[in-house]
Amino acid sequence: MANGIDADVLLRRMGGYATRERRRVLELLARSPQPVTAKKLHTTMGQNACDLATIHRTLNHLQKEGMVRSISFDGTSRWFDLVDQGRHHHHMFCTSCNQIEDIPLCRIDDFMDYAASRKGFQISSHVLELFGLCRSCRKKETHRRERVL
């Protein structure tokens, strides 16, 4: 959920470290409504793209700086999302078509209570992603089953 994030603000925070690649990657991430893979960023950049290795290096750097986080929805690829403190959110990942949708809610009070109150655990962050089938894949799945029967 990057809508509304001002890439300029992030770049200013970077000061002199905002190289052309970092600037470009941050801008694309800010414009993308969903987390994206490095490969997708590379294709989106088009002809004047830097090479994929540079994009990977840039993303790793931005992640180390805490501006970007990566999520491995399928255990092999990594998807990148801007870290925006004001827009904490979760995702639904369709395991059939790889579509990602945001969940702008966070109702995990019971988990927090358990960890903090009962276990005395100091929570610094959390991750929660839902896996399954999106609406259109569910429809396809139903049709497929009906044809088989």
Residue in 53, 106, 112, 116 binding Zn ion, rule: CB under 5 A: 106
Per rule CB under 5 A, is residue 134 in the interface with Zn ion? yes
Binding region for Zn ion (CB under 5 A) out of 10-18, 24-32, 77-85, 133-141 = 133-141
Residue in 53, 97, 112, 123 binding Zn ion, rule: CB under 5 A: 97
Per rule CB under 5 A, is residue 96 in the interface with Zn ion? yes
Closer to Zn ion by CB, 17 or 131: give it. 131
Binding region for Zn ion (CB under 5 A) out of 49-57, 62-70, 77-85, 93-101 = 93-101
Residue in 34, 92, 137, 140 binding Zn ion, rule: CB under 5 A: 137
Closer to Zn ion by CB, 52 or 106: give it. 106
The 3-state secondary structure of the chain, one letter per residue? CCCCCCHHHHHHHHHHHCCHHHHHHHHHHHHCCCCEEHHHHHHHHHHHCCCHHHHHHHHHHHHHCCCEEEECCCCCCCEEEECCHHHCCEEEEECCCCCEEEECCCCCHHHHHHHHHHCCCCCCCCCCEEEECCHHHHHHHHHHHHHHC
